[in-house]
């Protein structure tokens, strides 16, 4: 299993402004834990996500010495991607590609078709700058807006991405609507169909139903999971109420039950959790 820790997702909608120093301290602590990837910030409009306005200041202050974690930054337009690829520390650009037209307009002010053209731009920038593009299928399991959804819609857009040689695609339960049946259907179809693609799951979930979602994806071969310490976060552009992230603590319990070797430093994790307690209050 690969664990992608998402402090950016936890911080972006937090009710108080988190200082740059706090972010640097927290991210540096997380870099010692042993996560595969750290979703560390975003290069988006500060008017849209004020909490992430200092990402360009945070990145150079991160200590990458000895860490096995790679950094991922979220981008939403060409300008943000061009800012992000300048940083050698960043290995991945992440793009939320929504298959809900309403949410795509709401999140990036683009239609789905225009968003797919942006994927081409991002992919070109990544190739030129030795980065890799991670595409998140936002609203991948349904949406709250009344936009038509069924599994075939998700499968169609994934195929479009695969044709563009996108090699990491994560299905995102942006507002927590996924059920085990649709999760199983999508992963059981996609993973055998595209063996060269790494598929992941980014679940927003309440504490009572996280395990059924993770189990459904895991049983169909998904081994890449996004989570956040304490289960904090959600997408502030998606809904009035933030649905929490999958809690890293629960995902670690799941990995132990399934005999997955993650190489997590539990003392470093505890130190990061203590910082989280001071930040998220």
The rounded distance, in Å, linking the Cα atoms of 279 and 268 is 17
Share of residues in the chain with pLDDT > 90 (%): 86
- Sorting pLDDT into bands at 50, 70 and 90, what band is 234? low
**What is the average pLDDT score of the chain?**
94
Which of 57-61, 91-95, 132-136, 243-247 is predicted with the least confidence, judged by mean pLDDT? 243-247
Name which of 104, 114, 123 is nearest 164 in CA terms: 123
Provide the pairing of β-strand 90-98 with 198-203: unpaired
Residue pLDDT, tens place only, 19-32: 999 999 999 999 99
Name which of 247, 195, 244, 206 is nearest 225 in CA terms: 247
Name which of 10, 36, 134 is nearest 84 in CA terms: 134
Which of 52-61, 170-179, 270-279 is predicted with the least confidence, judged by mean pLDDT? 170-179
- Asked if residues 247 and 227 have their Cβ atoms less than 8 Å apart, the reply is yes
Tokens of 129: 């700058």
The rounded distance, in Å, linking the Cα atoms of 38 and 33 is 10
* DSSP alpha helix (H) spans, the chain: 7-11, 20-30, 55-58, 78-84, 101-108, 112-128, 151-163, 180-193, 210-219, 248-257, 266-279
Identify the pLDDT of residue 240.
44
Share of residues in the chain with pLDDT > 70 (%): 96
For the chain, the 3-state helix, strand and coil shares in percent, each to the nearest 5, are 45, 20, 35
The pLDDT of 108-128, averaged and rounded, is 94
Name which of 18, 99, 35 is nearest 275 in CA terms: 18
- Sorting pLDDT into bands at 50, 70 and 90, what band is 176? confident
Confidence check: pLDDT of 14 > 50: yes
Identify the pLDDT of residue 191.
98
Confidence check: pLDDT of 125 > 90: yes
The topology (CATH level 3) of 2-279 is TIM Barrel (3.20.20)
Residue pLDDT, tens place only, 55-105: 999 999 999 999 999 999 999 999 999 999 999 999 999 999 999 999 888
Confidence check: pLDDT of 194 > 70: yes
pTM of the model: 0.94
């Amino acid at each position: 299993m690969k664990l992608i820790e998402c402090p950016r997702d936890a911080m972006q909608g937090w009710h108080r402004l988190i200082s740059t120093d706090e972010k640097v301290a927290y991210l540096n602590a997380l870099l010692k834990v042993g996560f595969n990837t750290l979703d560390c910030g975003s290069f988006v409009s500060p008017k849209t996500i004020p909490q992430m306005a200092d990402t360009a200041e945070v990145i150079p202050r991160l200590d990458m010495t000895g860490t096995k974690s790679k950094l991922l930054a979220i981008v939403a337009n060409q300008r943000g991607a061009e800012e992000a690829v300048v940083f050698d520390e960043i290995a991945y650009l992440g793009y939320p590609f929504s298959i809900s037209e309403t949410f795509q307009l709401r999140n990036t002010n683009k239609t789905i078709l225009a968003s797919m053209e942006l994927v081409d731009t991002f992919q070109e920038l990544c190739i030129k700058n030795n980065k890799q593009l991670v595409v998140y299928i936002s609203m991948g399991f349904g949406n709250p807006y009344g936009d038509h959804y069924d599994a075939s819609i998700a499968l169609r857009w994934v195929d479009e991405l695969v044709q563009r040689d996108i090699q990491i695609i994560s299905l995102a339960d942006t507002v927590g609507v996924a059920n085990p049946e649709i999760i199983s259907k999508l992963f059981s179809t996609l993973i055998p169909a595209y063996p060269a693609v790494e598929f992941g799951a980014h679940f927003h979930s309440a504490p009572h139903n996280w395990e059924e979602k993770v189990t459904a994806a895991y049983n169909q071969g998904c081994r890449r999971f996004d989570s956040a310490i304490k289960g904090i976060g959600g997408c502030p552009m998606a809904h009035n109420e933030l649905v929490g992230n999958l809690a890293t603590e629960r995902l670690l319990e799941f990995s132990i039950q399934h005999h997955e070797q993650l190489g997590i430093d539990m003392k470093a994790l505890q130190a990061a959790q203590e910082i989280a307690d001071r930040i998220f209050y």
